[in-house]
A and B are shown apart, each in its own frame.
Chain A
Amino acid sequence: MSEDLLLEIGTEELPAGAVEPALAQLAQGLGERLAEAHLAHGAITTYGTPRRLAVRAAAVAARSPDSVRQALGPSVKAAFGADGAPTKAAVKFAESQGVAVEALRRVETAKGSYLAVERSEPGQPASALLPPLLQALVHAVSFKKAMRWGDVEQTFARPVQWILALHGSEVMPVVFADVRSGRVTHGHRFLSPGPISLRTAGEYLAALERAHVIADVANRRERIRAGVESLAHAVGARVLADPSLLDQVTELVEWPAPVLGSFEARHLDLPNEVLVEEMRSHQRYFSVVDAQGRLVPHFVAVSGTPVHDPALSRRGYERVLRSRLSDGRFFFDQDRKVPLVDRVPALERVVWQGKLGSYAEKVARIRPLAVHLATAAGLGGLREQVDRAALLAKADLTTGMVGEFPELQGIMGREYARASGEPEAVARAIAGHYLPRGASDPVPDEDPGSLVGIADRLDTLAGLFALGKPPTASTDPFGLRRACLGVIRIILGRGYRLSLSAAIDAALGAGRAPAGIAAKLGLSEERAAAVRGELLEFFRGRLKALWADDARADVVDAVLAAGFDDLRSTRARLEAFAQVVGASDFAPLAIAFKRVANIVEKQGSDVAAARVDASVFQDPSEGALSEAAGRAAAEVRRALEAEDAPRALAAARALKGPVDAFFERVLVMTDDRRVRDNRVRLLREVAQVFAPLADMSRIQAEGGR
């Protein structure tokens, strides 16, 4: 009879963030191992709290099915001679399998008839299969940071205290470090101390619930969400949505007990971000806002224990926050005593990156770079704002508040810029230049912050590539992938027409651009050019990753191969292709143009560059194609200049008819060298029509080579 299988690893309090990845490993690992053991099972479910990681497979079979194992021998053709007698190959195979030649069976495979031996293997009981399987599963769980404990060598995120392993009502013996499995779990540390013995795996959730543990992560998260929300409602407000805080709190408590607290209203004149950060990052309190989204002087803390008298813990929560807010106020008042611009010289003492120097040096580089980008993007009118914003972009790193809350960098810069009487656009740009911080962040909604943001990131990218520190497959300590994606997203999001290579050159300080990374590191021109090449390839890789969901990989590849210096037009070309790539006539078109591309590639080197000579044409299809290619080339050029990629693509596609007619009526590889060369030249012109749009040879289509 099939029964539920349950594995629970009881631990000391796990770090928030360790639970979910471990549960995913357990679920995947259990599924894979059960499949390998040929044990049928139902749904796999995980449960997790700060003190336990559990995985359950429903209805795991009591034994694996009997199976037939087949050993394949020689093909029938090779197994018997002309006389019908078994060959040496057949005899050897039978010997190796320990059976008589006569006992060999014929089986049909995709490759024809073969001789084979089939043996039936009896299934095995789950009680024999599961213990080693669970043993391996427990040992395979890995964490970002693991530790040893006591006098054992094994590691886990925190010490393991107990292991529960039940198949139905039967304990599956498992050993890990200094712990042996059993049927015992534990409830809430304070509310339900003492061991809880389970009769069967199926009792698990209910037993834990009775013992003040909500083991289901989603259920616990929802209870917390609803609980904090209803407390906020009680004061006519709502909780500021914060999914990541909700996740953290969910991984910090087993039996959530939300408590509403307050702080002094006078602190509300601190910047919102400071208040929210004080509450969330240090204390894991939820902020509370009114209907207009303004903070109100309340918070919701989530206790791990519903204590006898919540007023006592509330007093504690409020007291800690009070002292933190007083600290915050102290920093805020102190920081504002110095005008933001006066902090810039102090950046000399803030190291950015060893060889690349201080933040003062970085600022000195990104100022002219941002101004250069503004001019290049046709926003020369913003030069002064951009320069000022770049000058002040990092000044808040020297403030007490950012020292205490690094995550408020930029935000505090904006606040202190306002307090120092800087123009509002400059203040906003200081906060904006850090956007997007991650994939879910928006790009800045104004130009100065966008331009400073691009300059800052290009300086980082150029600097670390020049130092020979590009990210590796597994590590990206300087966040270069994120920086690169940021540049791409800002350029596209703001619709800038910028030359990427020129921008990189400017960051490196090559050519006539202002002195940049190259000067700082004393790069030779050759080295600077090499760095530029590596960086452009890095951008190509990021673009492929970014656009992977928007179009087929080969189409992205083909479009990028035609160049991506102007990201806006590259994106437009990709969208134009993505529109038509699914159409029924696209594959034949791709095949036709791949054929053109292949011929040009193979023959091109033998054929000297020259204009197509109409007098050598022998068939009307040649003249027609030549004329069509000339027209299409001009139209593609005009359409791209007008940033109308769909029209450009349509113009190129119009060549399909003349190309097909050409291939139908003439043979390119004719014996007459003059005629042949002329036809290759004609195809070269055809290929060049597509060249600014995509490298068609990279498109995958049936029939293409």
Chain B
Amino acid sequence: MTYQDLILALQRYWAERGCVLGQAYDVEVGAGTMAPATFLRALGPEPWNVAYVQPSRRPADGRFGENPNRLFQHHQFQVLLKPAPKNVQELYLGSLKALGIDPLEHDIRFVEDDWEAPTLGAWGLGWEVWCDGMEITQFTYFQQCGGFECRPVSAELTYGLERIAMYLQNVESIFDVTWVKGVSYGEVFHRNEVEMSEYAFRASDPPTLFALFDTYEKECVRLLALGLPIPAYEAALKCSHTFNLLDARGAISVTERAGFIKRVRDNARACAEAYLQTRARLGFPLVKTGWTVGEQPPPLEGARASASWASFAAEAPR
């Protein structure tokens, strides 16, 4: 299976189950979780089911294209299912079958993994999914996002595309993965890795980056004041990426680090709150679509968790 066939198979599988096929978010992010289609949509009571490929930039992981397993930029196939269907594990295993990974031929296991993203005020519980000892997917039930409790809970599936492709194609280096017949991953992206690593570790200009950080931070605050959480969140993401660049460059000391993370988190949280307020003012419109993927049994005791947002709308003065 070529790299792009892998993407196509996952897209087809999740599209057939009723997910919106999203496109990669065009602002630099470290993970698919940070794209608004996950971070913002996981908030509040509205249903949301999406699948998209997200190029994920991690400047500190850059290896100048010399390490067979690490990249400045890798690609995640990101699925967010909200509310998490009761049979989400079965749905996920179905997607592996669509890739030709049969659990009677491979040792597939769900191994405990707790996830936390301090810069997003987010955490969840779930697993890393192992295929013959190799982690191929992060599977997380979001519990909190932007400092808000997730009601309902979203299930996030993050497939590591390069790893899965290496495994399916039985190659030892990412750069040897066949992208499309006759063209390798290396031919598409190796030079990108070399230059981006050079940029991240040597060529970036810390004073410029520090100035950019401050600028994006202020821009985020300014846009929030204008009641525009979506562009404000874009600015917060820019901050986050700038911080990652500075970190890779070794420009941030240990003592300063926590302070920068807090600045990013504070803005991300403020964006989350503002986003919820605009959705509340709109009356959480997706709720009435009744859009679901998979099995969604109602609670047998107590109210629906999502019902708690009724009071949020009333309490949102801004």
Contacts and interface: CB of A to CB of B under 8 A. Distances in A.
A252 interface: yes
Size bracket of the B interface: 35 or more
Interface string B268-282: 000000000000000
B299 A177 contact: yes
Nearest to B298: A178
Nearest to A318: B133
B103 A149 contact: no
A113 interface: no
A532 interface: no
Interface string A133-154: 0000000000001011111111
Scoring B109, B124, B141, B297 by chain A CB atoms within 10 A of each residue's CB, the highest score goes to B109
B301 interface: yes
B110 A13 contact: yes
Given A15-B112, A153-B305, A319 B134 contact: yes
B104 interface: yes
B43 interface: no
Contact of A153 (B69, B89, B124, B302): B302
Contacts of A12: 89, 110
B69 A323 contact: yes
Contact of B305 (A15, A151, A304, A350): A151
A190 B101 CA distance: 13
B293 interface: no
B304 interface: yes
Interface residues of A, number: 53
Contacts of A321: 133
**Secondary structure type dominating chain A contacts:** loop
B303 interface: yes
Scoring A152, A153, A257, A283 by chain B CB atoms within 10 A of each residue's CB, the highest score goes to A152
Interface string A294-332: 000000010111011100110111011101000100000
Interface in B209-258: 253-255
A410 interface: no
B88 to A, nearest CB: 9
A147 B149 CA distance: 11
B314 to A, nearest CB: 20
A607 B298 CA distance: 81
Interface string A171-201: 0000111111000000001110000000000
Contact of A150 (B83, B103, B302): B83
Interface in B139-194: 141, 143, 150-153, 167, 172
A413 B124 CA distance: 35
Given A151-B83, A283-B133, A315-B132, A305 B303 contact: no
Interface string B70-90: 000000000000011110010
Contacts of B296: 150-151
A154 B302 contact: yes
A321 B134 CA distance: 9
Nearest to A193: B90
Given A148-B143, A178-B299, A305 B125 contact: no
A158 interface: yes
B153 A150 contact: yes
A419 interface: no
Interface in A340-357: 349-351
A145 B305 contact: no
Nearest to A303: B107
A16 interface: yes
Contacts of A516: none
A179 B84 CA distance: 15
Contacts of B264: none
A351 B259 CA distance: 14
A187 to B, nearest CB: 14
A252 B112 CA distance: 9
A316 B109 contact: no
Interface of A: 12-16, 50, 145, 147-154, 158-159, 161, 175-180, 189-191, 252-253, 257, 259, 283, 285, 301, 303-305, 307-309, 312-313, 315-317, 319-321, 323, 327, 349-351
